[in-house]
Structure 1
Amino acid sequence: MTDGTKQFLQELAEEIGDHPEKKSVMEEYEVHIAELIQDESIQEDKVYEQLLIRIGTPEEIAGMWKQESSITPRKTQWLFVLLNSALFIGGGILTISYNVLHWDWIELLWEALTNISIIIMLIYILFWGLLGYEIGREFGHRGRKLLRKTFIISVIPNFILMYLIIFKFIPHEWFQPLLNVPFMVACIVLTAFLYPVSWLGYRWGRKASV
């Protein structure tokens, strides 16, 4: 560890003060600084100056971290769980309305959505990428377990819907013209990619947090 790195981390530790999560924050920045020095080939005598330029002063970092630490992991977890559940509930209401009520405007909406099903799937993938990004940005290395737990809870409605459709608890004709082999394969592949997409978002958000 260079003298510049030691000085920077010492000042950062003083700014953070006595906080229960101080150790994990310091470890996170120590790893990030080491990666930055290695990737950018920063000269040893210019490390401290470059750190101030590239990631900010210890005062600024401590201030941002204290502000972000007010956002609790539980709130973030349930926010995304509820958002994902809301998507399924909204889709369920639309499906039932289309097959039971037969209102003209619902039929027009259903037709429009089925025609852009691929776009909707891409937006859904972006939703899971955003999930990982926000957890990585808000909690850094501390968010790894939170990401896995949030993903497992959030993906439950996906598997329940697949189970109900595969075993015909929900009539297949309700999902026409979507329910065909290519679409089902696309759904399976999409579900398999959700966690990798979330993980990539988490990695990106983690880098943005420091």
Structure 2
Amino acid sequence: MKTASQYFLQELEQAIGDHPDKVNILAEYELHVHEWMKEEGAESVDNYSKLIERLGSPQEIALLWRQEAAITPKKTQWLFVGLNIAMFLGGVILTIIYNVFSWHWVEQLWHGLTETTFIIMIVYTLFWGLLGYEIGKEFGDGGRRLLHKTFIVSVVPNLLLMYLTLFKLIPYEWFQPLLNVPFIMLCIGFTIVLYPVCLVGFRWGRKLSV
């Protein structure tokens, strides 16, 4: 007859399936089971309900490890890159629609956005702080390189648009009345602080991951 620990580990092995870190996970939980057996005493080794109350069911444990395996550096990187590109393309599409079509609701939206540019910049800066926070929380110290790479890739559309606009390689008048010296300097200033904001978020997230 199988003991509670044997049954638990067998169920866990089946529940984990083909997880890439399966061997280490099983070894870790085998250690936890042995520690539990020492605490409970030999007379309680067949009490399966107490074991899963202490460690969780094999199915719950397997689910947690599958979720963790799904969070990879590459996926995290492209999630934020994709979000930034989506916002960038959304702005481009809105600009084209506003200047090509005479749609009343688009004009209202455009004027509303141009009157709240500073608030939009603050929210956008917080987005970059969230980027650093999530990477720090998920990957700890090992995420610093990922943060740097993600930032570089994500900021390219911003710099490209700034370059095309400043050198009038795209219709300059489309961005009126925004394109004045104070606004341009404000954009440059916000762009400069994006990486420091990322680092602050990263350090905050890293502390929570410990």
| TM-based fold match above 0.5 | yes
Would the aligned equivalents of 1:136 and 1:205 in 2 still touch at CA under 8 Å? yes
* Equivalent in the alignment of 1:115: 115
User: Take 1:97 and 1:135, find their aligned partners in 2: how far apart are those partners?
Assistant: 35
- State how 1:35-50 maps to structure 2 within 5 Å: none
User: Take 2:117 and 2:23, find their aligned partners in 1: how far apart are those partners?
Assistant: 51
Q: Name which of 21, 24, 33 aligns with 1:18.
A: 24
Query: What are the ranges of 5 or more consecutive residues in structure 1 without an aligned counterpart?
Result: 1-15, 23-58
Q: CA deviation at 1:160?
A: 0.5
* Equivalent in the alignment of 2:188: 188
* Equivalent in the alignment of 1:125: 125
* 1:159 pairs with 2:165: no
- Give the letter for the 2:195 counterpart: Y
Would the aligned equivalents of 1:68 and 1:138 in 2 still touch at CA under 8 Å? no
C-alpha deviations, 1:130-180, integer Å up to 9, x for none? Answer: 000000001111101000000000000011001110111112211111111
- Give the letter for the 1:166 counterpart: L
- State how 1:20-169 maps to structure 2 within 5 Å: 66=65, 67-169=67-169
User: Take 2:201 and 2:141, find their aligned partners in 1: how far apart are those partners?
Assistant: 13
The SS at the match of 1:155 is helix
- Give the letter for the 2:75 counterpart: K
Rg bigger for which structure?
2
* Equivalent in the alignment of 1:176: 176
- Give the letter for the 1:179 counterpart: L
Would the aligned equivalents of 1:132 and 1:199 in 2 still touch at CA under 8 Å? yes
Percent identical residues: 62
- Give the letter for the 2:198 counterpart: S
TM-score under structure 2 length normalisation: 0.69
Say how many residue pairs are matched: 155
**What RMSD in Å do the two structures reach over aligned CA positions?**
2.2
